[in-house]
Every structure is written in structure tokens, then in C-alpha cells.
Amino acid sequence: MRKVSILVSLSTIVLARLVINLPPGWLRYGITVLLTCLLPGWALTTAVLTRLQRNILPMEMIFLGSVTSFVLTTIGGLGLYYGIGTLSLLGLASLFGTVGGVSLILSMSVQYHPQDDNLYSRGSQVQYKIILAGILLLSAFFAFFYQDYSDFRGDEAEVVLRAVNVLQRQDDPIFSHTKAPAEILLTASVGGLYGAFDEFTVRIPFAISAWLAVLGVFLVGQQLLGHPAALVGAGLFAINGWLVSHTRTAQYQTPLLMFSIATVWSFYRFYQTQSYFYQFFGALFAVGALLCHYDGISIVLPVLYLSILVSMQHKHRRHHLIMTGLTALCAVFLLSTFYIPFILHAGQVQESHFLRNFGSDQPYNNWNTFYINALYYNSIYYVLSVGLLLFLATLIGVYLTINGSPTKKFLASLVATPLLILSWTHILPAWYAVIVFFGFMTLFLASPKISLSIKVLLWWLLVPFVIYQFIIIRPGNHYYILMPPLMLLAGLTATFSYRRLERSLSSPKRRWLMPVLAGIGVALYSMSTWYEILVFMRPDLEYMLTYPEHRHPAFWSDPQYPFDIRIGWGFPYRLGWQTVSELYRSRQLNGDWYGNDENNSITWYTLGALRNPCFPRYYFLTEISYHDPPLEVPQDVIDKFYDLTGIVRVQGRPRLKIYEFAPVKRNPPPSIYDEPSRFPTLYRPEDLQPTYLPESIHPTDVTFSPPVTFKPHPNMLSHLAEVYGDPRITELDSEVKLLGYDLNQTWARPEGIILLTLYWQAGKPLIFPYKVFVHLTSDNSVHSTADSEPACGQLPTYNWKQGQTILDRHVIPIPPDIQPGQYTLQIGLYEIKTNLRMDYLDELGNPANTFYPIPDVSISPPSGERSNGPD
């Protein structure tokens, strides 16, 4: 162990120095993954084990060291963010190099004479090792193949955008996030070390954590239940659709699963060995889980349960309490460094998506949602077989806990059957399902006939099950957090039942029946694995997106499948956005956009170009959208002012249409873009424009300093008070500021248009709906108007927030009989119900007029060329 520790520590130091000078490429990315996910944790854990004279199995060392690396990346990244405001290349390299240096000092300062911590035989049967290797290879296949195919989903893109914000020191990406920071810190660490982002490089660390979660389930099951149950549980977990889907996305779920599994494993080892090494690292892993998401609360009860058991049997109570108290204080301190400022950050707790899902009419009975989620991510064979095993586990638990004769036990199990089945329906009130659940859970947890190992799994299951089945009104796909203990319970039930049946049969029956049952189990597992491959690992099919086109007859499903969800987590799909991104990179596209979809991933793929609903330069219309139903777009405006200039095809299918602003329509034949299987270009942080930040929206032609101010006259407020019947209106102090404007006169000729972009800001709160008027005038004559609520009605004034910049674009049509010459645009605001105008104030703050004039607008003779469109 000492030699390994020294070697790994030296490797960490060398690679942390080497990564600084390498250009982005596969070598640098490989080093990045080693530093963020593997080597520092291996170095630290082997050094500590050397120092403590402890020894563990290589498989446990791989798991423990890798999970520790993720903890170091998360907590260390948070420390760097607090310390220097970013996760820079030099800062990250220094962090990991320091960990390597400390580990080297620890490992070299003592001689190594280990005490073995292993409480089970090292000579595991060869067949167990072969089966485990097969499970881990299968999990690796799901984790690492075709990760670069699918577009980023919205929440994935938000994580990457926030990671870029961290690297660029922009905004407040950590505390303005409505979730915990681990997913951002991990992504920013990888991007900071590697110097670039793309779909593959962002997702791989999350895939590694998923693979480690499968290994962790085996290790937990091995300690709690023995090799056979551990292998079955890990095998079921490896092909679990919830896990596979999140394995293929850059989100918090797989690191949280990894951390929570490692926490339970560490505290159970602490219970077995009473070594504070396991307690300390278990506490670190618990911190990691809670820095991923609030779902990390699932590990609290098993940790408390095992800690209490250790305290009850410990010989040196005072020493134990001191060590436990120090460990708990360390964990609380680390968590408080994030959660205290997060809670204090204005509005983030209230804005949390998780908290918004708490209904007001608990309890709920979400078995129907569980059913839909299960069938959405898994084959019918998997759902039925695992469900049957868990149902059988409950009946076996009743049989074992009831005192009395076998007949009495059997009758109790028989009575439990309809109780359970009724709780899955909505025939009885939701309270019935709650009572049934807590009744069975209390029976099992209180019974001395249920082993400690099973109780650990039940405590692990208790909190998230109650939250997502009975308290949360919209549990979504959070059922993933239940899967590790459920799969281990299913594995235990399968192996227990198989052995009991084998012992109860006579020899002739046993010889033919047991292989048949084993063969049925293998067939069901194979079919379930095939389904996961079909829906997740076949980019050429895009199974979910194109369903039922590629529906396989071997897999029956609910008639409502896929439950109106086309773009699920981890399923392969392309909508054409990667091609759009390449067009923006090459400057073939350049400008703001709008479309029938709304998603953070579009912000990513347009390189931060402004999303503008009011006469954008481009309209992007997708065949299938993230937003369901698709957003409405003004088709009449598109038909009148836009040309179809591009069609993006994915695997020969038209997926996205590009319309470009063209008031003088030419109707050119659209360019056809066939999206390749992979784009080799990388996204560097500097490629992303910061225009997705509100403060980056500003005029480029004319900026007013100070801004032009509009304010309702007291007489106007009095009239509004009469109309609306509220005398308090006279006391309102409303104010609008015009920050500047952009004026495009390219098409300013008869039958053409003038394009005017106004930049507004609410100086003081507005409660009435106002329209912006833009009038083309000369000699007190109005030749044309373009009146509308701001942003083509998308941003009404009563929704404006103080300080928010509003981009408001207007197309002013020019009459065919207008004379060339100089004209003036008059700009102002009027209240919609009364048509009363605000006053424009002069520099002294006095009413000057009811409009602001923009002079010297030139109308050309009927000629001229078309430009490239609005910027």
C-alpha cells in the first residue's frame, strides 16, 4: 500500500503540473479526468490507510479513492470559488497538486505494517468475480459509448452555462442556482482543466460516477447480504432505466447516487470495524451527497441508525463521543459554507423547483406516477419481475416477523396481499396508502427477526419513499434515489427464494426445475438489457423521439407510452442545434433569434445569442421541441418578413428550419445541412457571448446619458383613478427610462420598412399596461405607425422588474406613396385602456412633450439592396 500511495501521489503532482502546458486534446482530457475523478482521492486514501496501518481490498480501494476524488473536486472547487472567484486552470492544478503533495508526505513518513480490515474471505469464488466483471462491463457500455451523440438537454445546458460563468467570473452562478452546486463545480473543474467543453467531455465524469455507483451497490450488498444477493442487486441496478438515463446526462443524480452509496458503505464498515477512518470518510461522502441535491437527505437515517449502534457497543464512550462530535462538526461546517449563504441569498429557497413541488393537500398517493416512470425508463419485463420480487419480499417479511405456526404466518401473508394491492390504487383515500406503508415499515423495523442488514436498507429507503410517494405532488423522475436499496432487496429476495425452493424440492425435481427457473431469470434479464440498449444505445433509431416507428413487438407497453414525453433524460436525440452552433461559430449565423422552443440548450448552441421574441434576425422552427406544446410563433410575421434560408436534417429527416429577416423578400432556395454524427470542434469559454446575461443587453447606435425619462402627469393619474375607481392611483410614482436605440434604415424607401430597436428600463414600478407608440411623421402629419406592447406583446410593462433592460423592436412600414426626404420618429408610451400618454421629461425633470423625437430619418428613393438583417 505504501509504494502504491507514493506512486499515485507522485503521479498526481506530475500530472497537475503537466496539464497546465498541454493544448486541449485527448491527452489533456485524459489527465483532466484522472485529476478530477480518480488520482487525488486514490493518493489521499492510500496515504491515510498507510498512516493508520490499515489495508483493504483493491476493489474497495478503487471505489473509496475514486469517490474521495469527487469529494475533493466538489469541496475544493467550492473553496476555490470562494477564495479567488473562479476555478482557473492554475487554481485547479494547484489544488490537486497540493493534495498529491500532502498525500506523499503522509505516505513517506511511516513504515507500513498493515492491519487487515476485511471481514470476509479474500478468496471469493471465481464465478462471482466473472459475473461481477460482466456487470461492470455492461455498466461501462451504458456509461461511455455514444455519449457525444445527443444534444444537451435544458438542465444540462444550464449546468454548463453556469460552469462557464464560474470560469468567466460572471454573475452569481452558484447561489442563483436553485439546486446544490456539485454539478456546476464538477463541470467547471473539468472545463477549467481541459480548457473546453463539448457533449462528450462534459458527460464523462458523470458517467464515471454512475459506474462507481454500480460497483458501490455490489460492495454494499456484499457487506450486508453476501455475494449472491449483491451480484443480483448490482446486476439489476446496472440495467435500471433510471440509472442508465442519468448515466447519459450531465446532472447531479449520478454523483449523488455514488456519494449516498459510499456513505452507507462507509458507515456500515465503521459499524463492523469501529475504525474512525470509515466514519470520517463516510461523513465526507454525506457532505458530497448533500452538495449534489436535497435528495442526499436519504442517507441521514441509515447513518444515524448505524452510528447509534456503534455508540451502544463502544467500550470507550467518551473517546467515541469526542471523535464522532469532531466528525459531525467537520461535516456541518462544510455544509454550512454553502447552505447558509444559499438560504440567505434572496429568493433562492422559494424559487427551488424541489420546494415548489410540495403541494398543500398532503398526503398524495403517487403510485400511478411511479408506474409511469417505471415503464418509461424500463421494459415491461423488468418492471414486472422486479416489482414481483419486491412484492414477494414484503410477504416474506410478514411471514418472518409474525409469531406462531407456519399456518398462522401464511394466513398473515395472505391477508397482507390485498392490503398492499389496494394501496397501489386510488380506490381508497391516500391516507390508506400511508397507513399501509408505515404499518409494514414499523412491523419490519421493530421486529428482532429482521436482520440488521435489511433494516439498514429499509432506513435508507424510508425518507425518500415517503417524500416522493406521499408528500411531493410532482415527484418527476426522483425515484432514481430509491433504486440502490430497492435493487438490493430484490436481489436478496431472488437469491433467498431460489435457495429455499431448491432445499424444499426433491432431487429429481430440483435437477430440472432449478435450471429452468434460472434460465427464465437470465431470459428476463437479457430482454430487459436488450430494451435498455434499444432505447438508449441506438442513436440510429432515436427510439423515443420517433416512437412508434421503431417499436419492437417483443416489448409490450402501456397504450399511453411514451406518455407524451419525446425528449427524456439520456435518450438519444438530435434536433439540429449542433449544426446551428457550427453556423454561429463560422459566423454564417450572427444575431438574435426566436422560435417555437424555449430551452437553455438553445442558448448554449447559439453561443449565447440573444433570445428575442420581437422581430429577431432568425426564427428557428423545430420539428419536435423541448417545450410541449411548442411555443406559438407569429406565422403571419414569418411569412411576411422572413425567408426560409436553411433546413437542418438529422439522419435524412428535416428537424429544424432557419428563417432569416428579409423585408424585401427574395425567397432563395434554402441551404440543406445534413448533420454529421459528430462535430470535432470544442466549445471554449471565450466562444460563448455573455449576452444571455440581462446586463449585457444595451444599445449600439445611440445611448442616452442620462437616460430619457417618461413619467405619467398628475392629471393623467387623476383621470386613471377615475376610470379604475381607485383614488390611490393618484399617489403612484411610476417612471420609464429609455436607455437608447438602434436604427436600421437599410430598407427605408417606399413600400419598405424602418427597423427601430428601443431599450427600456423601469425606473420605478409600473402597474398599468402601456403600449409603445412609434410614429413616422413630418410637418405634423403621421405617415405610418407601429404601436404595440413592449417586445411585440411578450413583455408587458406591468411585468417589468426594476433595473431590467427591455429590448423592444418595431417594424415601421413605409407607405408606397411617400416622398423621399427627412422624417422624424416620435416615440412614447400610452396607457391601453384610456390612450393617455406619459410625459417625456426634459433635463430639468419638467414635462416637455408626450413623445420623444428621433430626427433625420431618411427615406430613400425606391431602390437599394437588401442587407444582412437586424443585428
Q: What is the pLDDT of residues 725-735, one digit of tens each?
A: 999 999 999 99
Quick check: 323 and 276 in contact, CB under 8 A? Answer: yes
Rounded Cα distance, 163 and 88, in Å? 11
Give pairs for 861-868: CB < 8 Å, separation 24+: 861/749, 861/750, 861/820, 862/749, 862/750, 862/751, 863/749, 864/746, 864/747, 864/749, 864/752, 866/662, 866/664, 866/666, 866/746, 866/747, 867/744, 867/746, 867/747
* Whether the predicted pLDDT of 867 surpasses 60: no
Do 684 and 750 have their domain in common?
A: no
Q: What is the mean pLDDT of the chain?
A: 91
Asked which of 690, 715, 749 is the last residue of a domain, the reply is: 690
Which SS3 state, helix, strand or coil, does residue 504 take?
Answer: helix
Q: Please give the Cα distance from 52 to 490 (Å, whole number).
A: 37
Question: 492 pLDDT band (50/70/90 cuts)?
Answer: very high
**641 and 726, same structural domain?**
no
Cβ contact 495:232 at 8 Å: yes
| Residues 678 and 705 placed together within one structural domain of the fold | no
Helix (H) or strand (E) run with residue 784 in it = strand 781-785
Check residue 353 and give its pLDDT: 55
638 plus 786 within the same structural domain: no
Q: Residue 121 has what pLDDT?
A: 47
Beta-strand pair 115-116/54-55: parallel
| Lookup result for grid cell 427551488 | 352
645: in domain: yes
Decide if pLDDT at 869 tops 50: no
- Residue at 207 is within a domain: no
CA distances from 687 to 173, 174, 247, 684 (A): 18, 21, 27, 5
CB 99 within 8 A of CB 200: no
736 within domain boundaries: yes
pLDDT band at 680 (very low <50, low <70, confident <90, very high): confident
> What does the pLDDT look like over 733-788, one tens digit per residue?
999 999 999 999 999 999 999 999 999 998 888 999 999 999 999 988 999 999 99
**Residue 816: CATH number of its domain:** 2.60.40.770
Mean pLDDT of the 288-312 span: 96
In this structure, the answer to whether residues 728 and 637 fall within a common structural domain is no
- Global pTM? 0.91
Please count the other Cβ atoms lying within 10 Å of the Cβ belonging to residue 471: 16
pLDDT of residue 402: 92
pLDDT for 4: 87
- Cα 194–chain centre separation: 21
- pLDDT, mean of residues 821-837: 96
What string of DSSP letters covers 374-425? HHHHS-HHHHHHHHHHHHHHHHHHHHHHS-S-HHHHHHHHHHHHHHHHHHTS
Rounded CA gap, 233 and 213, in Å? 12
Say if residue 378's pLDDT is above 90: yes
Rounded average pLDDT over 217-227: 96
Residue numbers of the domain that contains 622: 577-690
Give the CA diameter of the chain: 109
Mean per-residue pLDDT for 80-91? Answer: 95
With bands split at pLDDT 50, 70 and 90, how would you rate the model's confidence at 222? very high
pLDDT band at 678 (very low <50, low <70, confident <90, very high): confident
Q: Report yes or no: 831 and 769 within 8 Å, Cβ to Cβ.
A: yes
Q: What is the pLDDT of residue 296?
A: 95
Query: Which residues neighbour 94 within 8 Å (Cβ) at sequence distance 6 or greater?
Result: 16
DSSP 223-261: HHH-HHHHHHHHHHHHT-HHHHHHHTS-STHHHHHHHHH
Cell of 522: 437470465
* Same domain membership, residue 704 and residue 847: yes
**What pLDDT score does 780 carry?**
84
Q: How many CB atoms lie within 10 A of CB 332?
A: 13
In a domain, 204, yes or no: no
With a CB cutoff of 8 Å and minimum separation 6, the contacts of 384 are none
Q: Residues with Cβ < 8 Å from 57, sequence gap 6 or more?
A: 118, 122
Quick one: pLDDT at residue 348?
A: 52
pLDDT at 547 over 70: yes
Distance CA 819, CA 702 (A): 26
- Confidence (pLDDT) at 692: 46
The last residue of one of the domains, among 636, 656, 690, is 690
740 and 779 share one domain: yes
Check whether residue 725 and residue 602 sit in a common domain: no
Give the CA-trace dihedral at 123, 127, 129, 133, to 10 degrees: 170
pLDDT tens profile 320-353: 889 999 999 999 999 999 999 998 875 555 555 5
pLDDT at 606 over 60: yes
Residues 826 and 707 in one domain: yes
Let me know if residue 721 belongs to a domain.
Answer: yes
**Are 719 and 811 contained in the same domain?**
yes
Interior CA angle at 579 toward 577 and 582, to 5°? 115
Whether 210 is in a domain gets the answer: no
**Statement to judge: residues 668 and 618 lie in one domain:** yes
DSSP E strand stretches across 586-701: 593-595, 618-622, 642-650, 653-661, 671-675
Of 690, 709, 734, the residue at which a domain comes to its end is 690
In a domain, 367, yes or no: no
Which pLDDT does position 180 carry in this prediction? 94
Does residue 9 form part of some domain?
no
Can you give the pLDDT at residue 116?
58
Chain segment 781-809, per-residue pLDDT in tens: 999 999 999 999 999 999 998 888 999 99
Total domains in the fold of the chain: 2
Asked whether residue 857 carries a pLDDT value surpassing 80, the answer given is yes
Least confident of 63-72, 428-437, 473-482, 506-515: 506-515
pLDDT score of 712 more than 70: yes
Mean per-residue pLDDT, 191-197: 95
Mean pLDDT to the nearest integer, 262-275: 95
Q: What pLDDT score does 178 carry?
A: 86
| Same domain for 781 and 638 | no
Q: Which has more confidence, 349 or 262?
A: 262
| Tens-place pLDDT, residues 110-145 | 665 566 555 554 445 788 999 999 999 999 999 999
